[in-house]
Amino acid sequence: MARQFFVGGNYKMNGTTESITSIIDTLNKAELPANVEVVIAPPAPYLALAVAQNKQKTVEVSAQNVYTKTSGAFTGEISPDQVKDLGATWTLTGHSERRTIFKESDEFIAEKTKFALERGLSVIFCIGETLEERKSGITLEVCARQLDALSKIVSDWTHVVVAYEPVWAIGTGLAATSDDAQDTHKQIRAHLAKTIGEKQASEVRILYGGSANGKNAPDFKDKADVDGFLVGGASLKPLEFIDIVKSRL
């Protein structure tokens, strides 16, 4: 069975009530493909708004981050239960900005992912290498280390989508070619086959998350191991985001 095409939109720390309402209103009016799974991730204060505004059956709402507890004295954090209470069904974990700016370790990210899954959320689990690591030729080593932290504690990857984010291609205007992305995704899938089994590895969707946009998305159309995109800046431009969602038509 072919893996379902998936497009995620990470708004990061951007948006207001007005702008997010406008973005979702544009998505609501669009004729989105019925066979494409779409997940949008607004900032936490706007999760309830996004859930209430969304009218598309193929679109779900995601948090950008969660913590490892259901509740308690953890100022500024958000629990998977709170995300679900607002009507959202997904969360991101391990985004490169969480890893690099907030210094989250592979083990902590894996722990958060495991807890989110246990509490009933689906997870977009982000991995990827920096420019220095890429130049050093250790892209797969880095990705494998990040994946292994999760596979050591999570055996069922049914509700995990992997997003490969070459950190050097995020917000820089640089992007891996579709051939580069396919080669890395193929290696990631081969590594997963060794750790979580060939069947699960063949079913896990692997997204490309490095400055995908309306112009380059169609270039990935025929890449066997690129199952969609995790979009950053372009997700704030709803017409361009819709073009990405439709890029496999």
What are 25-62's pLDDT values in tens digits? 999 999 999 999 999 999 999 999 999 999 999 999 99
- The 8 Å CB, 24+ separation contacts for 131-139 are 131/167, 131/168, 134/166, 134/168, 139/166, 139/184
Question: Residues 37, 95, 111, 185: which is the catalytic one?
Answer: 95
What distance in Å separates the CA atoms of residue 227 and residue 220, rounded to the nearest whole number?
9
Q: What's 5-230's CATH class?
A: alpha beta
Question: Residues 37, 165, 185, 191: which is the catalytic one?
Answer: 165
Residue with tokens 């720390």: 13
Tokens at residue 241, please?
């985001």
CA angle 56, 57, 60 (to 5 degrees): 80
What are 134-166's pLDDT values in tens digits? 889 999 999 999 999 999 999 999 999 999 998
* Amino acid sitting at position 181: A
The Cα-based distances of 108 to 83, 91, 99, 186 in angstroms read: 19, 15, 10, 26
Q: Which of 5-9, 128-132, 135-139 has the highest mean pLDDT?
A: 5-9
Residue boundaries of the structural domains of the chain: 5-230
Give every CB contact of residue 217 below 8 A, 6+ residues apart in sequence. Answer: 229, 243, 244, 247
Active site residue 95: yes
What distance in Å separates the CA atoms of residue 227 and residue 204, rounded to the nearest whole number?
9
Determine how many CB atoms are found less than 10 A away from the CB of residue 176. Answer: 22
Structure-model confidence comparison of residues 131 and 244, the more confident one: 244
